[in-house]
């Protein structure tokens, strides 16, 4: 009796796996890097891919992430031996700082944080807003670098990797 009840569940699981494989390799945030949207004022803006990798990409990234994570400490720029450990506590501070920038809600802005680097991605209505967002993120303690990857408006091809491609 149990086997008969289990068969539909197993078939559904197999169909789900086959559907995922047909749509391409499954991507996920293997390293649990902070990635969040701050505003959604320009709905036509392409969503960034974020820190989502296939299992193969994860394997190739692991070694370089170990090196990059410790290089900050070896250079005497971090007190923690792994720069990636700063990211989760930094995320709410970055969110708050960006939300305090006047006009941010008029854009569609996503943030990814990796090893104290803050990536600003998405679309904003003006170059001045992009500069203000960059300055707000740069002003935070423990932020090493800000990578402003923001488009002005929604026309054209984004310079950041786009989700689903």
pLDDT tens digits for range 44-54: 999 999 999 99
The percentage of the chain sitting over the pLDDT mark of 90, rounded to a whole number, equals 73
Measured CA angle at 59 (ends 55, 60), to 5 deg: 120
Compute the distance between CA of residue 59 and CA of residue 101 in angstroms, rounded to an integer: 38
10 in a domain, yes or no?
A: no
For residue 7, the surrounding DSSP H or E stretch is: helix 2-22
- Confidence at residue 4, expressed as pLDDT on a 0 to 100 scale: 54
A 10 A CB-CB count for 50 gives 21
User: Tell me, what's the pLDDT at 68?
Assistant: 85
Is the whole-model pTM more than 0.85?
no
List C-alpha distances in Å: 95 to 100, 120, 140, 141.
Answer: 9, 11, 11, 14
DSSP string, 101-137: STTGGGSEEEEEEETTEEEEEEEES-HHHHHHHHHHH
pLDDT at 18 over 80: no
Can you give the pLDDT at residue 10? 40
Band (pLDDT 50/70/90 cuts) for residue 39 is very high
- Is there a domain that residue 49 lies in? yes
Number of independent structural domains in the chain: 1
d(CA 139, CA 97): 9
List residues bridging with 114 in a β-sheet.
117
| Share above pLDDT 70 across residues of the chain, in percent, rounded to a whole number | 85
- For residue 39, is it within any domain? yes
Residue 73 lies in a domain: yes
- Is 70 exceeded by the pLDDT of residue 71? yes
Mean model confidence pLDDT for the chain: 88
Range of the domain at 45: 24-152
**137-142 mean pLDDT:** 96
Angle, in degrees to the nearest 10, between helices 87-99 and 127-138 = 140
Residue 100 falls inside a structural domain: yes
Residue with the larger pLDDT of the pair 118 and 4: 118
Between 17 and 112, the more confident residue is: 112
Q: Closest Cα partner for 147 from 48, 23, 11?
A: 48
- DSSP label of 146: E
């Amino acid at each position: 009796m149990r086997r008969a009840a289990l068969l539909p569940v197993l078939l559904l699981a197999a169909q789900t796996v086959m559907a995922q494989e047909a749509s391409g390799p499954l991507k996920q945030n293997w390293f649990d890097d902070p990635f969040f949207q701050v505003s959604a004022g320009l709905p036509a803006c392409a969503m960034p891919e974020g820190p989502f990798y296939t299992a193969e990409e994860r394997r190739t990234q692991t070694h370089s992430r170990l090196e990059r994570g410790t290089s900050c400490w070896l250079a005497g720029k971090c007190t923690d031996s792994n720069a990636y450990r700063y990211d989760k506590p930094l995320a709410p501070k970055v969110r708050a700082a960006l939300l305090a920038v006047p006009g941010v809600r008029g854009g569609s802005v996503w943030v990814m944080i990796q090893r104290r680097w803050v990536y600003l991605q998405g679309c904003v209505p003006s170059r001045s807003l992009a500069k203000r967002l960059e300055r707000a993120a740069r002003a935070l303690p423990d932020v090493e670098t800000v990578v402003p990857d923001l488009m002005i408006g929604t026309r054209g091809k984004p310079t950041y990797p786009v989700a689903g491609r």
